[in-house]
Amino acid sequence: MDIDKCDGKNCQTKEICLRFTTKYKEHKLEIKAPFKIEDGKFTCDLFWNETQTNIIDQLEEIMKPK
């Protein structure tokens, strides 16, 4: 899998986000944690959890040439 790795600095969800926890030897680049906290609510448009990975795996399987 080829994803951008996040530095996780000060991120509340880094321990469950594959962009931080990934152990892949190769990744495109390391990005700064792009999260926001507005009105006390934490959001990150690049958060990538295990469920999202499973969905991507399923889509890749569907798109394979037969």
Greater model confidence, 29 or 32? 32
Show the tokens assigned to 9: 């600095």
Greater model confidence, 37 or 66? 37
Q: What pLDDT was estimated at residue 56?
A: 72
Q: Print the domain residue range for 21.
A: 5-63
Q: What pLDDT was estimated at residue 25?
A: 64
> Judging by DSSP bridges, how do beta strands 41-43 and 36-38 pair with one another?
antiparallel
pLDDT-derived band of residue 65, with 50, 70 and 90 as boundaries? confident
Q: Write the CB contacts of 36 (distance below 8 Å, at least 6 apart in sequence).
A: 42, 43, 44
CA distance 8 to 30: 10
Structurally, the chain folds into a number of domains equal to 1
Question: How many percent of the chain have pLDDT more than 90?
Answer: 2
Torsion of CA 28, 29, 33, 35, to 10 degrees: -40
pTM across the whole model: 0.62
